[in-house]
Copies of this chain bind each other. A is one copy, B any other.
Amino acid sequence: MTYCIGISLNDGLVLTSDSRTNAGIDHVSTYSKMNICKTNPDRLVVLMTAGNLATTQSVVEQVQRDMRDDSKTNLNNLNYMGDIADYVGDLLVNRIRRYTESSGFVPDASMILAGQIRGGRVRAFMIYPQGNHITTSEETPYLQIGESKYGKPVLDRFIDLETTLEDAAVCSLISMDSTMKSNASVGPPIEVLMYRKDALVIQSHYRFGPDHPYLLQIRQQWASQLYNAFRAMPPLPLVTS
């Protein structure tokens, strides 16, 4: 499986992804799910992917190939992030349909698209296997794909529109750590990308391997802080029903 988080804040974007893939039980390997698209400098477009690896690889490849032919719809000649979400959604649903028709197997996948076009707003979309998409809101400024439930409570606690990029990045790493603790199909390297609004270039792109000291520090410190928090919980009341 996979776990990717896209957070869209007043300050910009924080995108976080794991790197574990398995195409069948014997093909466990690592593969980056954070695709920074090589667009023109007037825009930044990042695509994170979850689900069937054959599907997501072929969609990402098609996106790249389309950019070399300006007679085609592509990331560079669309003027709105919403139109780019439609375009990527169409590629996705067509690719899934093609293999479903030929094999009967439905190679589902979903994606988080995030970025900004000069003059436009910072946007993030989650694209469903059906090709349609949702975006973030004031109340829920983040999107998740893959194994999303284990790491959701910590995002719900700490992320709102005012959160800084740095705090959101740390929170996304805690969310990733909780997920890895409870699900073997999500694993490092963990990538974190931070983008500050209107910069049109990436501010930082971290890649934390399994033994990266910062990842270990986050894991150990969060575990010991939670342990202390647990030890400090009030005892059950004595009155019982």
Q: When the two chains form the complex, which single residue of B154, B181, B225, B236 contacts A170, counting CB atoms closer than 8 Å?
A: B236
Contact A233 B218 (CB under 8 A): yes
- Among A19-27, A76-84, A103-111, A201-209, the stretch that binds chain B is A201-209
A240, B237: Cα distance in complex, Å: 50
Chain B residues within 8 Å of A240, by CB: 204-206
For chain A, the bracket of interface size reads: 35 or more
A23, B207: Cα distance in complex, Å: 46
Contact A230 B174 (CB under 8 A): yes
Within 8 A of B (CB), among A189-241: 192, 204-207, 214, 217-218, 221-223, 225-230, 232-237, 240-241
Contact B241 A205 (CB under 8 A): yes
Task: Name the distance in Å between A141's Cβ and chain B's nearest Cβ.
Answer: 15
A240, B222: Cα distance in complex, Å: 22
Q: When the two chains form the complex, which single residue of B152, B166, B235 contacts A166, counting CB atoms closer than 8 Å?
A: B235
Q: When the two chains form the complex, which single residue of B167, B169, B192, B223 contacts A157, counting CB atoms closer than 8 Å?
A: B223
**Would A233 and B221 be within 8 Å (CB), given that A150-B152, A227-B157 are in contact?**
yes
The chain B residue with its CB closest to the CB of A192 is B236
Between-chain CB contacts (< 8 Å), 24 pairs: A147-B149, A150-B152, A150-B153, A151-B153, A152-B182, A154-B226, A156-B181, A156-B182, A157-B181, A167-B230, A205-B241, A206-B236, A206-B240, A206-B241, A207-B241, A218-B233, A218-B234, A221-B233, A225-B225, A225-B232, A226-B226, A226-B229, A228-B229, A229-B229
